[in-house]
């Protein structure tokens, strides 16, 4: 599968590394340009890209940047995506200590519904509910017991199950989290957030 990842921090970088290791073609990018991701890309066997090229000819685009930053991504990014490209929102909104306020989310709109509106596309919510340490170090082979579970929410069943497959490849049991309106269950301050649950 061809996968683009925007953001190479603790979450995006870990996802990119895991998916490249399992044999996917992975492109990585961030807001600072291609030179800033080149060393990381080389280290994990990925392709360095920028925000204009990361979305070209890919099956999945993974957004792993602070939630407000999604509104600042160039319009050309969305224009370059195939209609069939699945967009994954891994973000969490932290206005208390990092993020600029987003009025709609503050009034109760689920974070990923806001992201979907900004992108003008359906999105899938995944990879956001585990601690960075758990995501990087606690994945297991499907044959091992006590595998950690991860919710995946979205409005398109085909897209959702495709991402559930990637979650599985990353070492976690994927659970259907329902539609995007219910993705609030995966957000900060919810019962499902940053807790290592088994299936």
Q: Helices in the chain by DSSP H: which ranges?
A: 12-21, 35-44, 75-80, 103-106, 111-119, 132-137, 157-169
Nearest residue to 182 via CA among 86, 105, 111, 91: 111
Are 59 and 35 in contact, with CB atoms under 8 Å apart? no
pLDDT of residue 184: 84
Question: What distance lies between CA 192 and its chain's CA centroid?
Answer: 17
pLDDT of residue 71: 93
Domain count, the chain: 1
Q: Is residue 196 part of a domain?
A: no
Q: Is residue 93 part of a domain?
A: yes
Mean pLDDT, consecutive 10-residue stretches, the chain (199 aa), reads 96 97 97 95 97 96 94 92 96 78 85 92 92 89 86 96 97 93 78 57
Q: Is residue 191 part of a domain?
A: no
Are 67 and 47 in contact, with CB atoms under 8 Å apart? no
pLDDT of residue 27: 98
Quote the CA–CA distance of 101 and 145 in Å, as a whole number.
Answer: 41
Quote the CA–CA distance of 186 and 184 in Å, as a whole number.
Answer: 5
pLDDT of residue 10: 92
Quote the CA–CA distance of 63 and 65 in Å, as a whole number.
Answer: 6
> Which SS3 state, helix, strand or coil, does residue 28 take?
strand
Q: Is residue 102 part of a domain?
A: yes
Q: Is residue 198 part of a domain?
A: no
CATH of the domain at 123: 3.40.50.720
In which domain, by residue range, is 29 found? 2-186
pLDDT of residue 97: 80
Contacts of 44 (CB under 8 A, 6+ apart): 16, 17, 20, 21, 26, 28
Are 130 and 122 in contact, with CB atoms under 8 Å apart? no
pLDDT of residue 6: 98
- Dihedral pair phi/psi, residue 35, rounded to 5°: -65, -30
Q: Is residue 194 part of a domain?
A: no
Q: What Rg, from alpha-carbon coordinates, does the chain have?
A: 16
Q: Is residue 167 part of a domain?
A: yes
Q: Is residue 192 part of a domain?
A: no
């Amino acid at each position: 599968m061809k996968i683009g990842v925007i953001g190479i921090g603790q979450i995006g970088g870990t996802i990119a590394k895991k998916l490249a290791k399992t044999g996917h073609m992975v492109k990585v990018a961030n807001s600072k340009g291609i030179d800033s991701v080149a060393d990381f890309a080389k280290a994990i066997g990925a392709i360095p890209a920028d925000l204009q090229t990361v979305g070209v000819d890919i099956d999945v685009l993974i957004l792993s940047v602070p939630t407000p930053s999604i509104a600042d991504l160039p319009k050309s990014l969305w224009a370059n995506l195939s209609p069939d490209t699945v967009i994954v929102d891994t973000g969490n909104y932290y206005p208390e200590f990092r993020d600029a306020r987003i009025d709609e989310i503050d009034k109760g709109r689920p974070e990923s519904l806001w992201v979907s509106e900004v992108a003008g596309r359906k999105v899938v919510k995944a990879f956001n509910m585990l601690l960075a340490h758990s995501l990087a170090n606690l994945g297991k082979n499907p044959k091992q017991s006590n595998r950690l579970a991860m919710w995946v929410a979205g409005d398109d069943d085909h897209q959702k199950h495709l991402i559930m497959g990637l979650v599985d490849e990353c070492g976690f049991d994927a659970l259907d989290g329902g539609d995007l309106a219910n993705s609030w269950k995966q957000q900060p301050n919810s019962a499902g957030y940053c807790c290592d649950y088994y299936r």
